Amino acid sequence: MTRILRLAILLMACAILPVATTGCGSTVADWIVRTRNHQGDVALEHKNFPDASVAYELALQIDPTNVHARTGLVNVQIRIADTLFAASKFDQAIDALAKASKYSPHDDRVAGLRAVIEQAEIKRDIVVSNYPLYKVSGRGLRRAYAQLAAQNAQILAALQKFDYTYDTADLGDAIKQSYALNEEVTRLTSRLTQYRQLVESGIPEHGAENLVPPASLLPLP
């Protein structure tokens, strides 16, 4: 018997019998709350935070005092806030924490994450002021470091090839690739150091000749 059919039977019973004597109103409400809580639990288990939030909120519309729904909603909103924070969506993350705080006003997790986000906002403003192009340069650095995986894979492939060819030329290829990889790591480390210097303090008006200008970081191969 499906949930919809069970609900229809309950509603029909309540229509036929007086609610005061049967408690049908309470029974239907409890069933809806349990169903919504279950839907929220399943969605949360699958890391579907938006659907979990909706399910718990629907349960709370029926029973605002339901402990399971309140706890579930708080946990979900904290997860949502953390996800939004990682995506640099600070305002939306704060909104999610505000919803969590409504149901758990003194939750240390909410207060702690809010403090971290607020500190990140301050640091972001400083970085933007010092070096407006930080995002572009940062993406270039990430792409360049990601390409190191391809060089490392070539070294591993050469070593694996030696396992069945027993040809030391394959080891020689691995050594060449290793030297090239080491040179690239050294070069990127230097660029990374320059990047940190720029986001921390920017380029001063005087003495800029002592620093590598932002254009030298772009584009990164």
- CA-derived radius of gyration, the chain: 29
For residue 18 the two structure tokens come to 């007086």
For residue 123 the two structure tokens come to 């640091």
Q: Is 221 exposed, middle or buried (0-12, 13-18, 19+ CB in 10 A)?
A: exposed
Does 41 reside within a domain? yes
Residue 28: which pLDDT band, with cuts at 50, 70 and 90? confident
Give residues with Cβ within 8 angstroms of 47, minimum separation 6. Answer: 79
Does 52 reside within a domain? yes
Does 9 reside within a domain? no
Do 67 and 139 have their domain in common? no
pLDDT digits (tens, 9 = 90+) for 10-19: 545 454 444 4
The rounded mean pLDDT for the chain is: 85
Give the total number of structural domains in the chain: 2
Q: What value, to the nearest 5°, has the Cα angle with vertex 65 and ends 63 and 3?
A: 35
Asked which of 76, 95, 130 is the last residue of a domain, the reply is 130
pLDDT score at 27: 87
Does 142 reside within a domain? yes
Q: In which residue are the tokens 């007086």 written?
A: 18
Do 168 and 139 have their domain in common? yes
First to last CA, the chain: 62
Give residues with Cβ within 8 angstroms of 124, minimum separation 6. Answer: 88, 90
Asked which of 104, 130, 156 is the last residue of a domain, the reply is 130
Do 35 and 113 have their domain in common? yes
pLDDT digits (tens, 9 = 90+) for 44-79: 999 999 999 999 999 999 999 999 999 999 999 999
Do 118 and 139 have their domain in common? no
Does 4 reside within a domain? no
pLDDT score at 208: 40
Do 187 and 158 have their domain in common? yes
Give residues with Cβ within 8 angstroms of 49, minimum separation 6. Answer: 43, 76, 79, 80, 83
Least confident of 101-110, 133-142, 152-161, 207-216: 207-216
Question: How crowded is residue 51: how many other Cβ atoms within 10 Å of its Cβ?
Answer: 15
Query: What is the DSSP secondary-structure string of 182-204?
Result: HHHHHHHHHHHHHHHHHHHH---
Tell me which amino acid residue 187 is.
R
Do 143 and 77 have their domain in common? no
Do 101 and 116 have their domain in common? yes
Does 95 reside within a domain? yes
Omega within 30 of 0 (cis) for the link into 204: no
Do 42 and 139 have their domain in common? no
Do 171 and 183 have their domain in common? yes
Domain at 167, CATH number: 1.10.287
Do 207 and 187 have their domain in common? yes
Does 11 reside within a domain? no
Q: What range defines the domain where residue 81 resides?
A: 22-130
Do 56 and 156 have their domain in common? no
Does 171 reside within a domain? yes
| Res. 101: pLDDT tops 90 | yes
Do 119 and 50 have their domain in common? yes
Domain at 113, CATH number: 1.25.40.10
Q: Residue 182, CB half-sphere, CA atoms under 13 Å: how many?
A: 6
Distance between CA 75 and CA 71 in Å, rounded?
Answer: 6
Asked which of 130, 153, 180 is the last residue of a domain, the reply is 130
